Every structure is written in structure tokens, then in C-alpha cells.
């Protein structure tokens, strides 16, 4: 039982990375009906920006008279990096997706893939092949809850990601911009006629998704401090699977599916040898998609898919 609970805690942490990244995929998909294949690499860029921002803040607090407590540095790092990374997302949209809005969707997928490769290689060219490690801002405190070990980092990661998912949900449900995004997901061609600035809303969507990816990147850096330029590839593709599994453009679906993917991977590794993790986890996903081809919360396959 303790082992089960322990793995549950680990799975919650692992799933929250997937959930945050999947949200970005899902947001963009609900509007443009295409997947931003550079998203995994935006997660990576966000993580590196996080390293830069936190180092700058540490240096500032060491040099200046204001001594910032470490938790404040972490909070500021998350906020600043989310802000900066949202610009990366908007640039990607402007360069890679806007010129291709009327092209076949597969072409846009290819530009996304290529932008991803450029981001990875650009990072490698700028920083060299050495691995960058995330500065440790908060000391790990471990709590023993009846044989289950929970660290303060894990609690923070799960809470922050749930909070962000909830915030996004509220934003999309309650604000005027959120309403515009939902309207565009409903009907892309009529909404501009109602006076909604199309390009600005699409840029906003990319910015939101990228900000969440940056948050995921920093949380990842807190949990696993060693970063490398290719870390976004596998995370990106797996979160893409989660976004599909959740259903088209569903925020709740993407969050749930992200956690579900985390659970599946961790629990498969618990029961079977860990080398079988991908094999069994993806067979389960294949099975789910065979039964529910449109995911948990998506609409069934229809002529609306713009191919």
C-alpha cells in the first residue's frame, strides 16, 4: 500500500509536467486545428530562460542592497520566464504558422518540426554541449506520512500546475478574451466578422500555451536540475499524445490526460521492468484510442477536420 501511495505521489508530479505542456497543445489546436510541434522545444526554451532569469535574480540580490528570499526568487523566476517565453511562442506563430494559415495543415506541422530543430540547435550553438543545471532555490524537505515520502518540491509542483490549469480554465470561461478564443474554436470563419481581432487572439493563444510550457520547464528544472537541449523532444511528443487523448481543445481533457499518462507510465514501471514502460503505456493508449478514437472529451470525427 505504501508503495502504491508512493508511486501515486510520483505519478502526480510526473503527470503535472505532461498536463501543463498538453494544455498548450490543446489551446492552439482548438483554434487553428493544428498542433504546434515546436511546443516541446518551447518547454525546453522556457526552462533555459528560467535558469537565466533565476541566475540574474540571484546575482541581483547578491549585488544589490535588497536581499530577496529564495522562495520569492522562485516565484519571480516563474512569472518572468512565463512572460518572456510567451514572446517566444508569439514569434514562432508569426514566423512559422501565420504565413501558412491557408496551406495544408501538414505543411504547418513540418514548419513546426523544423522550428523545433532550430530551437534545439540554436541552444546548442549558443551554450555549447555542456549541460546546464538549474540553481537550487529551495532546500528539499521530506515529510514522512506513514511510510510515504513527500517532498516540499513535489507538493509545490503539483499545486502550481493545478493552479495554472485552473487559472487557464477560468480565463477561458470568464474573460472577454477567453470568450473570443472559445468562439474561434467554435467557428473560425465567422468570428472575425464579429470584430474579433483574429491575429491578436491567435498570438494570445500561443502566448498562453508557451507561458504554461515555461512554467512546466521551470518546475521540471526544480525537480530534475540537469537540463539539456533535447529534453523537449520526448516530453513534447508525449504531451502531444496526452492532448489528443484528452480530446480536441478540451482544457479539462488535456489536464486529465496529462495526469493519466503520468500515472500509466509510473505504474507500468512499478509493476513491470522499467524497460517495458513505453511498450505497455503506449499499447494502453492505442487501445483507448481504438475504443474512443476522439479522446475523452473530444467530438467524434467529422467533416469539420480541415485537412
Partner 1 sequence: MAGNLWKPYSRVPLLGWFFGALVAVTLERLAGAPLAQFLGLQKIPVLFGFSDMLKTPVSIPNVLLYLLAVYVVPAAAVTRLGASPANGIAAALYRFPMAVTAAVHLALLYAVLHVWAGASDYRVLVLRLTLIAVMLTLSLNVINGYMGEFSCSHPGFMALGAYCASVLTIGLFVDAELFGAASLSPALGRFLFPVALVLGGLLASFGGLFVAIPSFRTRGDYLAIISLAFLFIVKSLIENLEFVRGPRGLSGQPDWADLPTVFLWTVLCVWSVNNFVRSTIGKALNAVRDNEMAADAMTVDTRKTKIAAFLFGAFWAGVAGGLFAHVMRYVNPGNFGIQNLAEVLAMVYFGGLNSVYGSIVGAVSISLLGEALRPLEIFKWIIIPLLLILVMIFRPTGLIAFRDLDVASLLKPKANPGEGG
Q: Which residues pair with 132 in a beta bridge?
A: 227
295 near partner 1 (CB under 8 A): yes
Distance CA(106)–CA(32), nearest Å, equals 12
Q: Which residue number, 76 or 280, has a Cβ lying nearer to partner 1?
A: 280
Hunting for cell 498548450 — which residue is that?
Answer: 24
137 near partner 1 (CB under 8 A): no
Query: What cell does 173 get?
Result: 470561461
- Which residues are CB-contacts of 219 (< 8 A; sequence separation ≥ 6)? 16, 17, 20, 156, 157, 160, 161
114 near partner 1 (CB under 8 A): yes
Least spacing, CB of residue 236 vs partner 1, in Å: 9
Binding piece for partner 1, criterion CB under 8 A, among 16-24, 76-84, 96-104, 213-221: 96-104
Mask: binding to partner 1, 194-233, rule CB under 8 A, as x and -? ---------------------------------------x
Among 94, 169, 182, 277, binds partner 1 (CB under 8 A): 277
- Which residues are CB-contacts of 144 (< 8 A; sequence separation ≥ 6)? none
Considering CB under 8 A, how many residues would be counted as binding partner 1? 49
Strand ranges (DSSP E) for the chain?
132-133, 142-145, 148-151, 226-227
Distance CA(269)–CA(211), nearest Å, equals 30
The DSSP secondary structure of 47-58, one letter per residue, reads: HHHHHHHHHHHH
Distance CA(232)–CA(39), nearest Å, equals 8
Q: Which residue number, 64 or 273, has a Cβ lying nearer to partner 1?
A: 273
Least spacing, CB of residue 25 vs partner 1, in Å: 10
Q: Which residue number, 218 or 251, has a Cβ lying nearer to partner 1?
A: 251
Residues found near partner 1 in the complex (CB under 8 A): 29, 35, 95-96, 99-100, 103-104, 106-111, 113-115, 117-118, 120-122, 124-125, 233-234, 237, 240-241, 244-245, 275-279, 282-283, 285-286, 289-290, 293-295, 301, 303, 305, 307
Amino acid at each position: 500500500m505504501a508503495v502504491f501511495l508512493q508511486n501515486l505521489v510520483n505519478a502526480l508530479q510526473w503527470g503535472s509536467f505532461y498536463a501543463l505542456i498538453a494544455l498548450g497543445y490543446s489551446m492552439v489546436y482548438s483554434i487553428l486545428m493544428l498542433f504546434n510541434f515546436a511546443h516541446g522545444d518551447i518547454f525546453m526554451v522556457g526552462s533555459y530562460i528560467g535558469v537565466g532569469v533565476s541566475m540574474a535574480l540571484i546575482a541581483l540580490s547578491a549585488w544589490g542592497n535588497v536581499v530577496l528570499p529564495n522562495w520569492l526568487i522562485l516565484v519571480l523566476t516563474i512569472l518572468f520566464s512565463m512572460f518572456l517565453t510567451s514572446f517566444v511562442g508569439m514569434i514562432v506563430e508569426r514566423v512559422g504558422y501565420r504565413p501558412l494559415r491557408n496551406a495544408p495543415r501538414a505543411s504547418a506541422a513540418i514548419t513546426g518540426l523544423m522550428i523545433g530543430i532550430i530551437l534545439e540547435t540554436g541552444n546548442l550553438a549558443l551554450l555549447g554541449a555542456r549541460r546546464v543545471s538549474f540553481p537550487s532555490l529551495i532546500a528539499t524537505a521530506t515529510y514522512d506520512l506513514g511510510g510515504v515520502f513527500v517532498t516540499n518540491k513535489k507538493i509545490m509542483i503539483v499545486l502550481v500546475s493545478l493552479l495554472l490549469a485552473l487559472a487557464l480554465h477560468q480565463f477561458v470561461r470568464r474573460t472577454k478574451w477567453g470568450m473570443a478564443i472559445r468562439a474561434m474554436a467554435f467557428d473560425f470563419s465567422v468570428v472575425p466578422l464579429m470584430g474579433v481581432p483574429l491575429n491578436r487572439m491567435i498570438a494570445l493563444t500561443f502566448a498562453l500555451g508557451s507561458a504554461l510550457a515555461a512554467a512546466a520547464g521551470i518546475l521540471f528544472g526544480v525537480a530534475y536540475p540537469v537540463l539539456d537541449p533535447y529534453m523537449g523532444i520526448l516530453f513534447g511528443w508525449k504531451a502531444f499524445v496526452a492532448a489528443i487523448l484528452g480530446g480536441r481543445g478540451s482544457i479539462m481533457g488535456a489536464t486529465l490526460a496529462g495526469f493519466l499518462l503520468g500515472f500509466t507510465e509510473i505504474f507500468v514501471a512499478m509493476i513491470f521492468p522499467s524497460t517495458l514502460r513505453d511498450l505497455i503505456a503506449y499499447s494502453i493508449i492505442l487501445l483507448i484510442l481504438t475504443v474512443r478514437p476522439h479522446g475523452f472529451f473530444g467530438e467524434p470525427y467529422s467533416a469539420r477536420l480541415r485537412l
